[in-house]
Chains A and B, each alone.
Chain A
Amino acid sequence: MNWPMTRQTNRQTNRPTSRILSQARKELVQFSRDRLTVALALILPLGMLLIYGYAIRLEAKNIPLSVQDLDRSPLSRSYVERLFATNQFIPAPLIDSSPLSSLDHGLAKATVVIPPHFSREVAEGGSQVQILVDGTDVNNARVIQNSIRGVTNFFIQSLPNSVRPEGIRARVRIWFNPGRQESLYIVPGIFGVVLWVFPSMLSAIALVREKEQGTAIQVYASDLSSTEWLLGKGLAYWLVAVAEAAVVMGVSGLLFGLRLQTGPFPLLLGTGIYLAAAVSFGLFVGARTGNQNGAVQGTAIVGFLTSFLLSGFIYRLENIPFPLSLISNIIPARYYILLTRDAFVRGAGWAGIWFVLPILALQGFVLFKLASKIMQSMQLSE
């Protein structure tokens, strides 16, 4: 180590904790000098938060809907009016007076075909309306089907000859998120992705850089053990990660109106452990790969794909099919997202999520152990 600080405080460095601390301090100084990495550490997480936070929405609003009204009666016109009164649909033109071609051209997502004798048939007791839905976007195909049915049921009740049968009425209440704001679902999930990818990427780059530049060998020559070295590095990048977490969560509070629904302890503790696990993952990848390119690729592709796709970030975890669902069980982001969604939306507190903390702690510990084992064997073989 050609760092003056560690030499001056030689007496202090006899104790492992102070050796770890001075290693962490050195790492932070080095980090703050590398402009590109500092910018990367702060701008990329924010950019990702903004893009995902605003652009991932599953339910379409303003769906273009075309109508082929073969009846052209007052009744059919008021039915069409009711369809567009929901604000969910916007009118789209009908091309070539064929119900299919505006779907083919992608100008409409659905076409409603009202049959020629619609109003007479309704007066006589029953008519059929055909709905053609573009099934390409599976999720919104269902949403469209549901809302047209809902509007139709509503319309039926307003008809003069509708006799509402007495029966079961559902009083539906939606909990935790009564307005069904999708941002409340997506944004806490983003924390799981962003706070995994970037802390691990930074620590992986830092570790690999020392290997590339050969300064890692100087460490082997000093009295610093490889575990202490990794702990010092890890601590420094953990602090950077805490700063990232504070920025990302603070900005989401401002932009997306996220508020803590419970006491802060589960979130604080869980985030601390999660970030430590992410940093350990980065150290592990850094220990395994030989160059910075590989380190970035490894953390970006593996960390990103798993925390994005196998964590229940966009769609329900239960929908992941069998062999992949096994992998999703060992993805830390999957557990952390449960915790953030509880803290910011559900608000049940410890009762629903206590198991998250020991699982994350175990995963972080295993990852760190693996990293230090690799570094140790490297030190011995050197």
Chain B
Amino acid sequence: MNFIRRLFESRFWALTLKEIRQILKNRQLIFLLIFPPTVQLLIFGLALSPNVDHLSLGIVDYARSSESREFVSALVENDVFDVAAYPKNQAELGQAVRNGQLIAGLVIPPSFDRDLNQGDSTDVQVLIDGVDANTAGIARGYIQQTINQYTRQLNPQFKTALIETQTRFLYNPGLSSSWFFVPGVIGLVLTLTGSLVSSVTVIREKDIGTLEQLLMTPAAGWEILLAKVVPLFILLMGDVLLASAMGRFVFQLPFRGNFFLFLALSGLYVFVSIGIGILLATLARTQQQVVLTSFFFNVPIIQLSGAIAPIESMPKFFQILSWLDPLRHYVAIARSLILKGVAVEALLPNILTLLMFAVVLLSISVRRFRSQLN
């Protein structure tokens, strides 16, 4: 009780109250805390989807037989391809692919059913637009597998392959793409909002010159800074809850791990983002410079974190660089806790790294802040 009374009478408490009042009065700040995170989560979660389905397929069927039609319907059965056009000949098909109207084309030779009935093999030609290299690769895989299966069905004695592969997708059995992106975007949102909001609140006092007035009060540097950090931390935890609620109810994320562990580690990351923001604010002189430099920092932080494009597909150099990216560790934690539901032991390396980042960033920014005060 004594401690609580001391806290309420302390200078620190007065400063914190001042900060809270200032934040609540600042409409722009409240707007920044609510609107951009919501929009970013929605757009990233909905718009980014690597699905490969309903690719437009053009068919030139020189055989025009029931066998060839059956083959085509087997090929489009699983909705990877939609038959979009029946060009008259190969040249017309090629032109349509070149102009970007079709993504793939299939040419069935005139001898298709004759060859098959005689027990010979027959060659069909497939052409795929390779501009989108990733889609082209997956589309090629589908075509080859479907044709393999279809061939086996034609020959009852080979119905089962010698080795059958049975795939199980763990953690995300429906392969829903928002499950991959949304945990990453929660980290992205915390980085952007946390660094922006904290740098803006620090720099504004510098801009207006009220920081010097604060200096003249008996309050110590750390008291001023801590009083700034605590309300921001509480508000940003509100963002964590907002983002989790959207993840749960809009995107149906499973949250398989311990939710309180998730909240605690998100809190740790919030400290990191506040540290980034205050550091940016001590580096810059005006609000405009803060916004520009934060843009400069945030693009690589986000890009190397694996929130948008998987880290495993980056070149080696960037993979190594990404270890220095705090967001990478948070995204790994968020995905593990939300999708995999792993225990805390599996996350220890990430947690320790984040802790280190929080301590280093905050102590650098406190030191720079203090030296600027003197």
Contacts and interface: CB of A to CB of B under 8 A. Distances in A.
Contact of B309 (A47, A58, A145): A58
A178 B130 contact: yes
A55 B144 contact: no
Contacts of A79: 163
A268 interface: no
Interface in B285-325: 287-289, 291-292, 295-296, 299-300, 303-304, 308-310, 312-315, 317-318
Contacts of B332: 106
A267 to B, nearest CB: 15
Interface in A180-217: 180-182, 184-185, 205
A309 B39 CA distance: 12
Contacts of A314: 48, 308-309
Nearest to A79: B163
B175 A142 contact: yes
Contact of B100 (A61, A155, A156, A352): A352
Interface stretch (A159-167, A231-239, A362-370, A374-382): A159-167
Contact of A136 (B36, B121, B138, B171): B171
B69 interface: no
B175 A59 contact: no
B131 A177 contact: yes
Contacts, number: 320
A100 B152 CA distance: 32
B50 interface: yes
A148 B342 contact: no
A120 B161 CA distance: 15
B35 to A, nearest CB: 10
Nearest to B148: A153
A147 to B, nearest CB: 7
Given A129-B165, A136-B339, A168-B116, A310 B313 contact: no
Interface of A: 36, 40, 44, 47-48, 51-52, 54-64, 79, 100, 103-106, 109, 122, 125-143, 145-150, 152-153, 155-156, 159, 161-163, 165-178, 180-182, 184-185, 205, 292-293, 296-297, 300-301, 305, 309-310, 314-316, 318-321, 324, 328, 338, 341-342, 345-346, 348, 351-353
Interface of B: 36, 39-40, 43-44, 46-52, 54, 71, 95, 97-101, 116, 119-138, 140-145, 147-148, 150-152, 154-155, 157-158, 160-173, 175-177, 179-180, 287-289, 291-292, 295-296, 299-300, 303-304, 308-310, 312-315, 317-318, 332, 335-336, 339-340, 342, 346
